[in-house]
Structure 1
Amino acid sequence: MTAPTRTVRISHALLGAILLAGLPVGAAAGYLVGPLTRWLVDVVGGAPGPLRLLEQIPEPWLIGLGTVAGLVAAALLVAVIRAETIAVEIGADGVTVARDRARCYVGRERIASVFTDPHDLVLRDADGRELLRREADVGAARLAAAFEAAGYPWSGTRDPDEDRFRDWVDGTPDLPGEAHTQLRRRARARRDDDTDTASDLREQLQDAGVVVRDRGSRGQQWRPLGGHGAGRPTEPARSSR
């Protein structure tokens, strides 16, 4: 009998709470139209035209309209959150990570380690290559429980090779010139929000023996391909300058 697929996505309870919060927020906005308009008239001698028009509507109607508007706004926010957060499907044969319409599948036979780092979900093979790295905005504890229940090799909430990563400094002799060129291009792609190019360059760097990750204001960090438990690490060739 095939084991069931486990899906981890943003909590339905959280989305429901956001949706329900739209009701009182909208109602409060409708109730405040009158007091806000009168305050503006008293303090600055006038109020925007839309506020003056809304003030002509009876207060009970304003509160009702505000409640409906708050619910609609909250529903739109929930839809955006669902589209922008990942869903992780953990099956017997592999893992699928989806965000909006983009989906990525990694076969189980390739996965030697699963962990979060610190907010990214990372799937890694036995040679230390990162098969997948995606922002894990669904909760590390929930991911750990699901992967462990499915029998995957969960490695915790810290990269096993954390101490091998180094901040990228352009031009240092630790990396060959071609790697620096690719890292420069990737830095530009990140600044331009060109995620496809940044992802392609990340794979090209791994093909050349360099694993790269992003660390916010610190920029890109790198380590040589290979890792603890993956045999002898493969150090990238040094530049001959």
Structure 2
Amino acid sequence: MRTTTVAEPGWQVGVVWMGFPVVGAGLLWGVQAAAGWLLSLPWIPFRGPLRLIDSIPEPWDTVGSLALGAAVGLFFAAWAAHERLTVEVTDETLTLTRGGTPRTIDRTEISAVFFDDKKLVVLGRISEELARESHDLPAGAVADAFQTHGYPWLDADPHRDEFRRWVEDLPDLPPAVNALLKARAKALKKSDADDARELRTELARLGVVVRDDRKRQFWRLTGQSGR
């Protein structure tokens, strides 16, 4: 069975693993080097930690700041690696893997695949969203993979004109949907990505597709909604 795999380029992965520790070390070293000057500014916050940093003698303050900054950078590099999306396409299935967890979608369930800004979107047979994944994959390679295996790749969302902006207590929507959208608006305002993702899933079960634009929610109904 032919399989086409699309992942982030090796050079891009290398930049993250090498660059994040270097940037982290440089930033923390800069704070350490400027701690004395920063304490001279009466309005500067976090004076306690700055005094502690400034009190550490050389060379331990420089060594410590570089080591801690590099460790913080490595942590974020590992987090970025965990969040990377890998796409595997065959003639029969699509597999999306993030955080080491694969999710497979049968080809027969898919009606359209396209990019919505920096999201890879997969639609089902009644226009429901089977997947909406953020990514840093090469766009051309992704499109080629789907087209090579005969998937319905589109240049844009075929239902984009159906989306309407959500406002609180919209009369066109059932109370349960409005309640979920209201809770999701709060999650977006707090930048709670996990809660927003869970609420999107709950809305999908009710036949509602949601897309975001600068923390504003836009919605449309799928075929299962019966409206």
TM-score, normalized by length of structure 2? 0.73
**TM-aligned CA distance change 1:145 to 1:66, over 3 Å:** farther
Alignment of 1:1-241 (within 5 A): 2-8=1-7, 10-21=8-19, 22-23=21-22, 26=25, 30=29, 33=32, 36=34, 39=37, 43=40, 48-55=51-58, 57=59, 62=62, 68-156=67-155, 158-175=156-173, 177=174, 180-189=175-184, 191-192=186-187, 193=192, 194-195=195-196, 197-206=198-207, 210-219=208-217, 221-225=218-222, 236-237=226-227
Which AA in structure 1 matches 2:176? T
* Aligned alpha-carbon RMSD (Å): 3.5
Q: How many residues align?
A: 214
Check whether the contact 1:18–1:74 (CA below 8 A) recurs between aligned residues. Answer: no
CA distance in 2, matches of 1:32, 1:170: 44
Gap runs ≥5 in structure 1 = 227-233
**Normalized per residue, which structure has more strand?**
2
Letter matched to residue 210 of structure 2: V
Deviates more, 1:127-136 or 1:189-198: 189-198
Q: Gapped runs of 5+ residues in structure 2?
A: 42-46
Using the TM superposition, give the Cα deviation of residue 117 of structure 1 relative to its aligned residue in structure 2, in angstroms: 1.4
Structure 1 residue identity aligned to 2:199? A
- Aligned identity (percent) is 25
Matches of 1:144 and 1:136, distance apart in 2:
13
What's the TM-score, normalizing by structure 1?
Answer: 0.69
Change (3 A) 1:96 1:52: same
Alignment check: 8 A CA contact 2:35 2:53 kept: no
